[in-house]
Amino acid sequence: MAHEWQPDFEQLVDEHQSMVFSLAARMTGDRGLAEEVAQDVFLELDRHLRRMESPSHVCFWLRRVTTSRSADALRRRRVRCTDLWIEIEERHGASGEEKESPLGARLEQMLATLPEPQRAALILRYQEDLTPEEIAATLDAPLATVKSQLQRGLKLLRAKAQSQLKQFVRVKR
């Protein structure tokens, strides 16, 4: 059966640019690099547009390719986690129009210090609201591995939060 769905590239960019950019920015921690990654991902989508079968297929494909391209870009740049945070604070997080709780901002900062697989799993889980099964499919990893990465990532993040964000936690409570 022929695919009846006719994708409109410009509309897809409109629809998914925020998702792709946010994923890339959180994976790389570099706004400029994230823009490059997002651009590359969309241009690759343009080349593969005929193979897209449905809107959900596009979404799945974009998440998968963005995560993978971000990891590649990050490996190429070999950005250290500490540097990531300076980048995020200066370029990404410090946008005037975005209102964030200090705790949220710090959590996001700490997320970038996690190992890459854990970071990817947590971003897909909490930014994209994917189930572990969907994350496993997106990252092309075994479900057990993803569950373990989520657990370890959360545990590590909590430990960091407990040690570094005591003042915020106290204020919140």
Q: Which residues bind another protein (CB under 8 A)?
A: 9-10, 13-14, 17-22, 25-26, 31, 35, 38-39, 42-43, 46, 92, 95, 98, 100-101, 103-105, 107-108, 111, 122-123, 126-127, 129, 154, 157-158, 161
Q: Residue written as tokens 């400029």?
A: 32
* Cβ closest to another protein, residue 2 vs residue 28: 28
Cα–Cα distance measured from residue 73 to residue 30, given in angstroms and rounded to the nearest whole number: 10
Of 94, 105, 117, 1, the closest CA to residue 53 belongs to 1
* Cβ closest to another protein, residue 86 vs residue 169: 169
Local structure of residue 48 (DSSP, 8 states): T
Query: Least Å distance between CB 100 and another protein?
Result: 7
* Cβ closest to another protein, residue 129 vs residue 140: 129
Cα–Cα distance measured from residue 129 to residue 45, given in angstroms and rounded to the nearest whole number: 22
* Cβ closest to another protein, residue 71 vs residue 123: 123
Query: Least Å distance between CB 53 and another protein?
Result: 21
H or E stretch covering 44: helix 31-47
Query: Least Å distance between CB 108 and another protein?
Result: 5
> Residue 8: which residues within 8 A CB-CB, separation 6 or more?
none
Q: Residue written as tokens 């998702």?
A: 19
* Cβ closest to another protein, residue 127 vs residue 145: 127
Query: Least Å distance between CB 59 and another protein?
Result: 13
Q: Assign 3-class secondary structure to 145-160.
A: HHHHHHHHHHHHHHHH
Query: Least Å distance between CB 86 and another protein?
Result: 18
